[in-house]
Amino acid sequence: MRANKEASCTPTLGTVSGGVTQLTRGRNPANPAFNTIITGMIPRRIAHDINSRLKLFPAVALLGPRQVGKTTLARAIADSRESVYLDLENPNHIRKLADPLRYLSAHEKRLVVLDEVQRIPGLFGTLRGIIDEGRRRGSGTGRFLMSGSASAVLLGQAGESLAGRIAHLELRPFDVLELDSADPMRLWVRGGFPPSLLQESEKDSFTWREELIRTYLERDIPQLGPRIPATTLRRLWTMLAHSQGQVLNASRLARSLSVDGKTVARYLDLLVDLLLVRRLPPYLANLGKRLVKSPKIYVRDSGLLHALLGLVDMEALLGHPVAGDSWEGFVIENILGAAPPRVQASFYRTADGAEIDLVLELPRGEIWAVEIKNAHSPSLRKGFHIAQRDIQPDRSFVVCPGTERYPIADGIEAIGLRDLCREVTAWT
């Protein structure tokens, strides 16, 4: 695998319409496949779900990490109807909510977009009263579209006040299905944050991601309340990057940081709540086996993972020991982004070494086993075959780079990432 040659002009995000992002950027003759997306419209798959939920619920909360495109998408949806947009990080907009009941009630017939709503936690109680009053007057759905960068904070606040009145959706970084004509290797190296993906050079993309990390550590996290030294959290985040895809060893992390286990758990909870780190739980079916019961840990966006480890481009990535685990995390995030609601994801591992990287439990009881290999000609370990016999999945796949699809063993199919994501999306 080799890095693509870089384009010769700077990308910018342009106008938006109907849940798609329009990109303005010059064409790159060396990379015609990527040109098909950088000069056109990139649909965000979740836009349809947002519009559907707005028809069913008074409020919709759009969750996602900072700079993933929540504001762009929310504005696009707002532009399609009568609406009011409030950025709750803008002091001028915050002043409009000095009397929130009066201001918001005056816009009953409009969609009100509340960007970064967790900045005003006391607002949810007011929203409940406005929603209930609107229902009595026949304005029962499509009242508020909220965005937030902290899942647990937003969900906790909204859950207390808006139970039964709000739907929650997560906007993730771009994935291989949204960038259907592009080389997924570029997406793997840079990650799916739009400003990172569309920079002119690998160096510029890397610099943007470094600044995003700095912003989280020095600005966003302190604003959420926890008093955590930025250097300590940076060390933990980097240690998690070095342990990408490994079973959590909280005691080892605690010793390295000179803190106790409860403190590590609190720091880790924060990174998970910010949608930056994933805890993948173990598959704990009662199979009479000694199972690993701690979660695996992944830095969710591959581009942020590489920035934490100082890996600027594909050459640096492929020469680093984390390459295989980075590819594993990238594949898992793409699959889970494509998965329909209510799919349960886990990994399977026994004390004897039987292991499956990803187990998908589909809502109707079907189980899929997914092994992930960063090799075009993958071979399967004995532990995978033992795990197959243990959990007896309905379908089994080995995801590897490239686009070929072929049987690799009895009941096991080698498949490219994009094709498997399509399979997952098509499942109903």
Compute the 3-state secondary structure of the chain and give helix, strand, coil in percent, each to the nearest 5: 45, 20, 40
116, 215, 288, 394, 427 from 366: Cα distances, Å? 38, 42, 21, 6, 10
Bridge partners of 348?
A: 356
Structural domain spans, the chain: 46-170, 184-426
Distance in angstroms (rounded) separating the CA atoms of residues 261 and 103: 46
Torsion of CA 9, 12, 17, 18, to 10 degrees: 100
Query: Which of 344, 245, 329, 341 shows the shortest CA–CA distance to 285?
Result: 344
Alpha-carbon distance of 128 to 7, in angstroms, equals: 49
Ramachandran bin of 127, using left for φ above 0, alpha for ψ from -120 to 50, beta for the remaining angles: alpha
3-state secondary structure string across 55-119: HHCCEEEEECCCCCCHHHHHHHHHHCCCEEEEECCCHHHHHHCCCHHHHHHCCCCCEEEEECHHH
Structural class in CATH, domain 46-170: alpha beta
Q: Which amino acid is at 424?
A: V
Q: Residue 335: in which H helix or E strand, if any?
A: helix 323-338
CATH architecture of 184-426: Orthogonal Bundle (1.10)
CA distance linking residue 131 with residue 331, whole number of Å:
40
Rg of the Cα atoms in the chain:
22
Q: What is the rounded CA–CA span in Å between residue 229 and residue 212?
A: 17
Nearest Cα residue to 232 out of 199, 206, 277, 271: 271
Residue 259 has which token pair?
């803190």
- Give the phi and the psi of residue 405 in degrees, each rounded to 5: -135, 125
Residue recorded with tokens 């909870």: 269
Reference 118, options 274, 224, 270; nearest CA is 224
Q: What is the pLDDT along the chain (428 residues), one digit of tens a residue?
A: 333 323 323 333 333 334 544 444 434 434 444 433 443 458 898 999 999 999 999 999 999 999 999 999 999 999 989 999 999 989 999 999 999 999 999 999 999 999 988 888 788 889 999 999 988 888 889 999 999 887 767 677 776 788 889 999 999 999 999 987 778 999 999 999 999 998 999 999 999 999 999 999 988 888 776 678 889 999 999 999 999 999 999 999 999 999 999 999 989 999 998 999 999 999 988 777 888 899 999 999 999 999 999 999 999 999 999 999 999 999 999 999 999 888 999 999 998 889 999 999 998 889 999 999 998 888 899 999 999 999 999 999 999 998 899 999 889 999 999 999 999 998 75
Task: State how far the Cα of 321 lies from the Cα of 298, in Å rounded to an integer.
Answer: 15
Instruction: Give dist(CA 330, CA 156) in Å, integer.
Output: 28
DSSP state of 22: E
CA–CA separation, 189 and 305 (whole Å): 9
Output the pTM of the full model.
0.88
Asked whether the beta carbons of 117 and 123 are under 8 A apart, the reply is yes
